Chains A and B, each alone.
Chain A
Amino acid sequence: MTQTDPAPDTAQEVLIDVRGVVARYGHRLVLDGVDLEVHSGEIMVIMGVSGSGKSTLLRLMLGLKQPTRGSIRVMGHEVTRAGTRELYRLREQLGVAFQGGAMIGSLTIGENVSLPLTEHTDLDVRTIRIIARMKLEMMGLSDVEDMMPAQLSGGMLKRAGLARAIVGDPKILFFDEPSAGLDPVTAVELDERILLARRAMNLTIVVVTHELESAIKIADRIAVIQDGRVLETGTVEEIRASGDEHIQDMLHRRPRKETIDPDAYLDRLTK
């Protein structure tokens, strides 16, 4: 069993509360009645295969997309009804590390990492520079401040993205597919940095991933999403012991069993 840092005692305070969320892209139903809580200080890993709806759920939590139905409260703010100013103030307390790092190619790594503070605070430029360097050091990235994003490896870009996500000391960190595209060794290094960031900053972290090993390593709790629904939420041990066939298939890397509706299939072929 992989040991993780235990979540702090404040774990029972609910920082994110998702209730009955339904979401669509056009006519396609992506989330079909999702309930989920994220507790203060915990690392919640939302797992699912591609197309399960997990990234959509992340976007909804950040107020980047509105659900068709349901409620999403983040740190007491009802995100589904929040105005622009309220969302702006809420997002100042959130950090987001996007898949691929999402660095601005024409800025140095130091400028990229500093950007949230440069844009949203009145801190002196020297203070910002020190903070950015501290966060890069925390991510094991000394001496990259003056490099351009194109000069960094994939793993280093992810760590720089994480440094930027935590530069403003957020209350909640969201991480979208942190291990995507990384070799196993680099992925493990990134997992260690996520755990370090949680310890150093007492962060609550939401990670969206399909990488099983990473989830087991870092999660306090895992929510498994399939076909737009939460199959089960629990600790790593509880998920391992799940009697759900789909979860066991995922844990044992068994391919999904395809089922065909013969009538619908015939209609698709002949319409």
Chain B
Amino acid sequence: MEMSTRTEGAYTVVELKGEVDLHFSPGLRDRLLSELDDGHPVLVDLGEVGYMDSSGIASLVEAYQLARNNDLDFGLVGVKGPVLQVLQLSRLDKVFPIDATVDERISRDAG
């Protein structure tokens, strides 16, 4: 599992590659909560994630709630395949703001 961050527009984009499981998810959680605690809106790019277990999903859930509590924007981009299926079956696809790409989210914000 690889994790990198970059800035696009107002967002910190956290990009993940590989599989997110309980060995990696604590690091993901720490990164997301840290960015949000620093006041940065966050987008999580899941376009290169082939698998995410429940601990990874839970990290996204906790981060989104923190963002809402801090009045910060948060969203997921590039969600597809098994990750999308898990979100759909746990009904979290109705909870998270999800866009196809970072550009699409930024355009939506501007519109």
Contact = CB atoms under 8 A, between A and B. Distances in A.
A134 B57 CA distance: 9
B91 A130 contact: no
* Residue from A128, A169, A200, A202 having most chain B Cβ neighbours under 10 A: A169
Nearest to A201: B86
B90 A127 contact: no
A200 B59 contact: no
Nearest to B53: A169
Interface residues of B, number: 18
Interface in B38-95: 53-55, 57-59, 61-62, 82, 85-86, 89-91
B97 interface: no
B22 interface: yes
Interface residues of A, number: 20
B61 A123 contact: no
B26 interface: yes
Contacts of B25: 123, 127
A134 B26 contact: no
Contacts of A200: 85-86, 89-90
Nearest to B21: A169
A65 to B, nearest CB: 29
A131 interface: yes
Given A126-B62, A200-B86, A131 B91 contact: no
A126 B60 CA distance: 12
B90 A202 contact: no
Interface string A118-133: 0001111011101100
Given A124-B26, A131-B58, A199 B53 contact: no
Contacts of B82: 202
A139 B89 CA distance: 11
A173 to B, nearest CB: 14
Contacts of B57: 131, 134
B29 interface: yes
**When A and B form their complex, which 10 residue pairs have the shortest distance between CB atoms, in order from nearest?**
A200-B89, A130-B58, A169-B53, A131-B54, A127-B58, A131-B58, A130-B61, A169-B54, A134-B90, A121-B22
21 contacts: A123-B22, A123-B25, A124-B26, A126-B62, A127-B29, A127-B55, A127-B58, A127-B62, A130-B61, A131-B54, A131-B57, A134-B54, A135-B54, A137-B90, A167-B54, A169-B54, A196-B89, A200-B85, A200-B86, A200-B90, A202-B82
